[in-house]
A and B are shown apart, each in its own frame.
Chain A
């Protein structure tokens, strides 16, 4: 993609800028608008309500109106806040979650960077979010923000471990750290997906299936914790900490936190889809191949990628409106006493199976 752009514009800088902003404007902003609307409609559906209905047909313009309202709002910085850190924090949080999109393959022809260490890059760069959250909590000079930030830091760092362990076990099978290659391997039909043991036939594949499912469940639970969604939303636990680390933020800065949260939601869903569910690959082969239209394939891939991502986003919403919230100590118990040991055992077993 990047090469194509360079050829079109004859300038590397413009190509870099376009490649960097393309997913933001084409994908993440529309997605965030849609996801906020979806979240409100899903919760309304689960709670016997209608949800937004007034702005546009079925309230589809509600989030646009919300964004317009947020842009107009006064940017308040409280008196005792550390101004520099306070302003830097939302940028850092958004940068952390947005940078992860660089290594996520949307289609076979579009990926921000085709670096071979894509997964490693995602794991590393998404930890930047923690720094931003801690910064916002500290700079706000508010006890609730500080408590929320501390909780968040402890939570995200703890849950990186099972995530990394699960990713490691998948890497052992696929033999690559690049999400693009990983998606390419899982081509053709859905039984080639990693969750069904990968593309290679044999006894290995059958043996791997249960352990891959366990790996996926661990990955999904820890990814919920990493994006602070219920039942792990204790950093912003509304009834306890008012709004957690972004209590003091208003206007666009709050909107950026909000955007980062939704971008993060899609990022982890996309990673889950890419690792376990074939990424952009269609589960039944391509329509474009069937009728001989080559250019249709990337569009189909984008469709499947978005659908898979949206499905996991929907599951996140489903869980959010069903489950109560865990307590801080219970959250740590889930991570250190259950997820990490299980992930370790799973890693060893998958390692042994791949030796066969």
Chain B
């Protein structure tokens, strides 16, 4: 079995949309396991996802049940000047976590550009809309890193998935396909 670790519920929903698409395209084979929930663990937020202590239980599953792992999280905003923000610092923090975990299974990671909302907005060519909404409603000042677009998009277009064919999705798509390779 594989396990994907994400920050929150929105990330999980997005990954499930993606997995469904990959399954439909026969790009991945999930075998008998059609319970997507079983493949994904919500860690709560980025700090919790990058905190070694939060994997004490999961480590007991590694090697037995979990044979491969993929960590997906936001790089967030460099301007916030937090320890693990921005692509480089996010990757550094994750590499430290990986070293500490000492899991003897293949581990990979994928970091979203800014956050899932920006990433999605960019792939549907509407990043300017998001910036406009954020600016107008002062969303950043209220609650940074909320995902209004992902939520709105899902409500307004429940049957229309994100443009998963967009080039920006290629990297995460390849990582997901790779994750399921060689898994019985």
Tell me whether A and B are bound partners.
Answer: no
Where the two chains meet, the residues of A that have a C-beta atom closer than 8 Å to any C-beta of B are: none
Where the two chains meet, the residues of B that have a C-beta atom closer than 8 Å to any C-beta of A are: none
